[in-house]
A and B are shown apart, each in its own frame.
Chain A
Amino acid sequence: SQQGEEDPQALSIQEGENATMNCSYKTSINNLQWYRQNSGRGLVHLILIRSNEREKHSGRLRVTLDTSKKSSSLLITASRAADTASYFCATVRGTGGFKTIFGAGTRLFVKA
């Protein structure tokens, strides 16, 4: 079954606006990661948040994690056309986990 599920499936915004993507998961996790994928390319790791953290920042990215609701959100502030990509959340289950489970992704389109 799908561990991470992103919402919305697609998002279209104007340059300069903020973009928020959500991720829900089903089982307990060790950490949650967000990745970006440009069209026709591999995934690029953006940020990792551990299960004992609630919020993390990296440049224009802000990630929150609510383990009680089994959900996470990725906020991209002051979006740019170059942020146009698909964004995936990924979860690693429990301890000693090697299997990272990816969601189906949110497609973000930033209009210039």
Chain B
Amino acid sequence: DVKVTQSSRYLVKRTGEKVFLECVQDMDHENMFWYRQDPGLGLRLIYFSYDVKMKEKGDIPEGYSVSREKKERFSLILESASTNQTSMYLCASSLSWRGLNQPQHFGDGTRLSIL
């Protein structure tokens, strides 16, 4: 089974801090994604990556950056955390098949609180 591991289940940080959320997958998937999930809004895509060192902005990239130095690891960075970034963050990975996106496998999420 595919395993997607997020480094922390719960995280509390202060406004203005630089925050790193780490995600590792063990199935050699090409694609990796970062979402945030807020009540009533569903999942919103922040960034995704389809290869090492490649990244694409999602729907809400402002205030975030990402890093993919190795295929199995995709990091989300909050450059200067703000209270409106308090949310559940979900990482996912998927296999590419003929260039088309396959079902995504999710980690258990990081519930981030910015005080």
Given contacts A30-B100, A42-B90, contact A99 B41 (CB under 8 A): no
- Taking CB atoms and an 8 Å cut-off, the chain A residues in 22-40 that contact chain B are 30-31, 33, 40
CB distance from A98 to the nearest CB of B (A): 5
CB distance from A61 to the nearest CB of B (A): 14
Contacting B43 at CB < 8 Å: which of A88, A96, A97?
A88
Dominant SS among interface residues on chain B: strand
Given contacts A88-B42, A104-B42, A105-B42, contact A96 B107 (CB under 8 A): no
Closest to B56 in A: A98
* B100 contacts A43, C-beta separation under 8 Å: no
B108, A41: Cβ atoms under 8 Å? yes
Cβ-defined contact, B42 with A45, below 8 A: no
Q: A58 contacts the other chain (Cβ, under 8 Å)?
A: no
Produce 1/0 per residue, A55-98, CB < 8 A to B. Answer: 00000000000000000000000000000000010101001111
Known A-B contacts A98-B56, A99-B48; the reply to A44 vs B106 at CB < 8 A is yes
Alpha-carbon gap, A43 to B6, bound state (A):
13
The reply to whether A42 and B4 form a contact with Cβ atoms under 8 Å apart is: yes
Interface residues of B in 24-51 (CB under 8 A from A): 31, 33, 35, 40-43, 45, 48, 50
Tell whether, in the assembled complex, residue B103 and residue A45 are in contact, meaning their CB atoms are under 8 Å apart: yes
The residue from A33, A43, A92, A99 contacting B106, defined by CB atoms under 8 A apart: A43
Chain A residues within an 8 Å CB radius of B105: 45
Residues on B with C-beta less than 8 A from A48 are 103
Question: Which residues on B sit within 8 Å (CB–CB) of A95?
Answer: 99-100
Separation of A24 and B92 alpha carbons in the complex (Å): 23
Q: Is the CB of B100 within 8 A of A45?
A: no
Contacts of B31 in A (CB 8 A): 98
- A14 CB-CB contact with B under 8 Å: no
B residues less than 8 Å from A99 (CB atoms): 45, 48, 58, 101
Asked whether A109 is an interface residue with its Cβ less than 8 Å from the other chain, the reply is no
Expressed in whole angstroms, the Cα–Cα distance for A40 and B37 within the complex equals 11
In the complex where A43-B90, A104-B41 touch, is A98 in contact with B50 (Cβ < 8 A)? yes
